[in-house]
């Protein structure tokens, strides 16, 4: 009978353990460690995507919002005209700004459509009336108007900028965490203001330059989705009126003489 020495048995055990290690390193020709790293990588990508989408949705409600200050024009002419009755020609705005706006609201029975008056036209009218009463004319409640002043739209244009959506999606919205815009909008507008005396005679006609404005929706510095659109429209309307107010002030001597 043969007996194995202790060294021989140790070598056999070592060879056996080595064989076991080799069997565990490759299963069906694949390394379990590499498979685990791939799974971890995919999980991290999924996590980043979920976090990015959540941040994108969160940013929609966490951007700057509009205040009523944007409805109060600031620029005031140094020389004010006699009192005039402001008349806003709503019909001239209808081809660019629909009278009614339809919104879809989630209800108990699904999406419900609600229709309301377009707030844009009301905002424009309010800005124009305040401009006339505070910044163009010297209004006194006891004074009789020396004529009327009309505002009408020449043209307007608006476009959504989706160029920021592609890099946002490719980066799983993580770039938006660094302040990159997620959405953008471009708007343009041109106005015309005419002045008539008490005999309905045209005494002045003024056209603004085409004013442009861009706004962005971003997490830290941009605007909310709805506020971005409203801001553009209010700002460019106010800028158009500022352009017209400068023209009226430059023509003050002739206008004031024609309105008396």
- pLDDT tens-digit series, residues 205-221: 999 999 998 888 777 77
* In the chain, where the domains are located: 42-259
Predicted pLDDT of residue 19: 44
Predicted pLDDT of residue 177: 78
CA distance 22 to 27: 9
Residue 83 burial class via C-beta count within 10 angstroms: exposed 0-12, middle 13-18, buried 19 and up: buried
Residue among 147, 149, 139, 137 nearest 86 (CA) = 149
If one compares 17 and 84, the residue with the highest pLDDT of the two is 84
CA distance 155 to 210: 9
Residues 6+ apart with CB under 8 A from 124: 88, 93, 151, 233, 237
Predicted pLDDT of residue 30: 54
Q: What percent of the chain has pLDDT over 90?
A: 42
Q: What percent of the chain has pLDDT over 70?
A: 71
* Mean pLDDT, residues 14-42: 53
CA distance 113 to 92: 27
* pLDDT at residue 155 is higher than 90: yes
* Mean pLDDT, residues 58-82: 78
* pLDDT at residue 231 is higher than 80: yes
Q: How confident is the model at residue 7 (pLDDT cuts 50, 70, 90)?
A: very low
Predicted pLDDT of residue 106: 62
Predicted pLDDT of residue 143: 81
DSSP 140: -
HSE value, Cβ hemisphere, 13 Å, CA-based, for 255 = 25
Residue among 169, 194, 191 nearest 182 (CA) = 169
* Mean pLDDT, residues 151-168: 85
* Mean pLDDT, residues 172-184: 78
Three-state DSSP state, 16: helix
* Alpha carbon 184 to its chain's center: 6
Q: Please indicate, yes or no, whether the overall pTM of this predicted structure exceeds 0.75.
A: no
Neighbours of 241 (CB within 10 A): 25
* pLDDT at residue 79 is higher than 60: yes
Q: How confident is the model at residue 197 (pLDDT cuts 50, 70, 90)?
A: very high
Three-state DSSP state, 84: coil
* Alpha carbon 51 to its chain's center: 23
Residue among 120, 125, 70, 71 nearest 97 (CA) = 120
Q: Are strands 85-88 and 147-161 parallel, antiparallel or unpaired?
A: parallel
């Amino acid at each position: 009978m043969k007996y194995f020495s202790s060294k021989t048995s140790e070598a056999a055990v070592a060879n056996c353990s080595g064989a076991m290690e080799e069997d565990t390193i490759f299963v069906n020709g694949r390394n379990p460690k590499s498979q685990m790293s791939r799974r971890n990588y995919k999980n991290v990508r999924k996590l980043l995507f979920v976090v990015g989408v959540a941040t994108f949705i969160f940013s929609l409600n966490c951007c700057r919002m509009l205040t009523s200050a944007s409805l109060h024009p600031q620029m005031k002419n140094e020389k004010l005209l006699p009192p005039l009755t402001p008349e806003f020609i709503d019909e001239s705005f209808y081809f660019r700004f629909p009278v009614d706006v339809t919104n879809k609201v989630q209800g108990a029975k699904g999406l419900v459509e609600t229709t309301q008056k377009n707030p844009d036209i009301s905002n424009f009218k309010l800005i124009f009336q305040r401009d006339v009463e505070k910044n163009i004319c010297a209004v006194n409640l006891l004074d009789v108007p020396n004529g009327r002043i009309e505002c009408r739209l020449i043209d307007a244009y608006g476009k959504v900028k989706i160029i920021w959506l592609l890099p946002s999606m490719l980066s799983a919205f993580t770039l938006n965490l660094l302040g990159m815009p997620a959405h953008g909008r471009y708007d343009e507008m041109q106005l015309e203001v005419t002045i008539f005396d008490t005999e309905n005679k045209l005494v002045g006609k003024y056209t603004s330059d085409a004013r442009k404005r861009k706004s962005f929706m971003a997490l830290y510095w941009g605007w909310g989705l709805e506020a971005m659109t409203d801001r553009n429209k209010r700002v460019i309307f106010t800028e158009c009126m500022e352009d017209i107010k400068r023209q009226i002030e430059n023509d003050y001597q002739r206008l004031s003489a024609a309105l008396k």
